[in-house]
């Protein structure tokens, strides 16, 4: 009995699945992006990322290990000389899967799997944090001039003041609409 595998079965024997994944990985490294079914893309992602990690090592043992999966020597050379150096600063996440909708003939869910190019994404500051950074220097300058409030009092007063102003504006707007209707 064949050894069970993680993920969806791609049909056929375990050897057939290995060949399908090897051919998909070869095409991905050769073209940079391929269109396939979502199930095959999800099964290909860990295989491709593991091969890129081996290629980043760059030694002879890693090259021979990759050659057991990707049998095209030209693609292996491209993987080691072009693709792996691009990902030298990135720790994982070398591929991206984008769903593109169903296939016309059999309504199979299709996806594009591609190599992520460029620098790793950096975390941008959240919107509230950016607002707090821009709003914080103004009250700090005002309290520095007076020197009467403590920092913990300043933040508590600043948090309560806008909340108290907002309902008054809403109430004024509501009464203005009522006056116009009458």
One DSSP character per residue, 54-68 reads: HHHH-SHHHHHHHHH
Element (H, E) at 84: helix 84-86
Dump the DSSP string for 15-34: HHHHHHHHHHHHHHHHHSEE
Q: Can you give the pTM of this predicted structure?
A: 0.63
Tens-binned pLDDT, residue by residue, of the chain (182 aa): 666 767 777 888 888 999 999 999 999 999 999 999 999 999 999 999 999 999 999 999 999 999 999 999 999 999 999 999 999 999 999 999 999 999 999 999 999 999 998 766 666 777 776 677 777 665 555 555 555 555 555 555 555 555 555 555 555 555 555 555 55
Q: What domains can you pick out in the chain, each with its CATH number?
A: 14-115 (3.90.1030.10), 127-181 (no CATH)
83 sits in which H/E element: none
Q: For residues 42, 44, 50 and 52, what is the CA-based torsion angle, rounded to 10 degrees?
A: -120
């Amino acid at each position: 009995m064949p050894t069970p595998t993680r993920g969806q079965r791609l049909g056929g024997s375990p050897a057939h699945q290995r060949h399908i994944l090897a051919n998909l990985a070869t095409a991905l490294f050769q073209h940079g992006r391929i269109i396939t079914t979502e199930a095959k893309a999800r099964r290909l992602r860990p295989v491709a990322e593991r091969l890129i990690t081996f290629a980043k090592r760059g030694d002879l043992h890693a090259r021979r290990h990759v050659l057991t999966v990707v049998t095209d020597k030209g693609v292996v050379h491209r993987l080691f000389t072009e693709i792996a150096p691009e990902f030298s600063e990135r720790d994982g996440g070398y591929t991206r899967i984008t769903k593109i909708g169903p296939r016309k003939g059999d309504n199979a869910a299709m996806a594009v799997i591609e190599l992520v190019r460029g620098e790793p994404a950096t975390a941008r500051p959240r919107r509230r944090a950016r607002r707090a950074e821009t709003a914080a220097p103004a009250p700090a300058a005002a309290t520095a001039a007076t020197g009467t409030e403590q920092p913990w009092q300043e933040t508590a007063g600043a948090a309560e003041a806008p909340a108290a102003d907002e309902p008054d504006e809403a109430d004024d707007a509501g009464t203005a609409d009522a006056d116009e209707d009458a």
